[in-house]
């Protein structure tokens, strides 16, 4: 698969600090995309891709908003070049959506009963810790944890 063409504009200062991590995540994404999908359900083939997409976007988000380790110019460059999901990061900035694993978690049309994902339920509302497997992002987890997070 050919590498995605990026803009010809040189990256801003600080790019060399985050480039190895983004290249590693990009390589894992390519491996996940080319993994054989025989014997898997249709949605199971997408689970590793959703996890890596979340991980890459969360990495950029944490660097800019939490640690303040990168400049606005570098953050905008990463968004423009497609290294992070602009819409997912916009949701993370809103109250109540901080632990959102993917945008599919808030789309009720994708579920059988028109409900949200377990990552949308406040921890105070969860009564019993039980193992759940979210159908679209695959993580088997205690219900008190978010779907795809790698904390």
130 part of a folded domain: yes
109 part of a folded domain: yes
2 part of a folded domain: no
Model pLDDT, residue 150: 34
| Cα gap 79→75, rounded to integer Å | 6
β-partners of residue 52 are none
User: Domain range for residue 104?
Assistant: 15-142
Stretch 52-58: mean pLDDT, rounded? 95
Please, which residues have CB within 8 angstroms of residue 126's CB and are 6 or more apart in sequence?
A: 143, 144
Query: 15-34 vs 72-80: helix axis angle to the nearest 10?
Result: 20
| Cα gap 118→76, rounded to integer Å | 31
**16-20, 31-35, 116-120, 146-150 — which is least confidently predicted?**
146-150
4 part of a folded domain: no
What is the reported pTM?
0.78
Does the pLDDT at position 30 exceed 90?
yes
6 part of a folded domain: no
92 part of a folded domain: yes
Q: How many domains does the chain have?
A: 1
39 part of a folded domain: yes
| Cα gap 22→52, rounded to integer Å | 11
61 part of a folded domain: yes
Model pLDDT, residue 20: 97
Euclidean distance between the first and final Cα of the chain, in Å? 31
Tens digits of residue pLDDT in 102-141: 888 888 887 778 777 777 777 777 665 454 555 555 554 4
| Cα gap 66→90, rounded to integer Å | 14
């Amino acid at each position: 698969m050919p590498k995605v063409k990026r803009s010809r504009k040189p990256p801003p200062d600080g790019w060399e600090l985050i480039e190895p991590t983004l290249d590693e995540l990009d390589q894992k994404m390519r491996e996940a995309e080319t993994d054989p999908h025989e014997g898997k359900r249709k949605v199971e083939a997408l689970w590793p891709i959703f996890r890596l997409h979340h991980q890459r976007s969360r990495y950029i988000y944490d660097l800019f908003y939490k640690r303040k380790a990168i400049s606005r110019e570098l953050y905008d460059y990463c968004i423009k070049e497609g290294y992070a999901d602009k819409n997912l990061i916009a949701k993370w900035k809103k109250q109540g959506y901080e632990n959102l694993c993917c945008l599919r978690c808030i789309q009720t049309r994708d579920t059988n009963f028109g409900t949200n994902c377990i990552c949308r339920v406040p921890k105070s509302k969860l009564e019993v810790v039980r193992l759940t497997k979210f159908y679209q992002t695959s993580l088997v987890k205690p219900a008190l944890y978010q779907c795809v997070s790698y904390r």
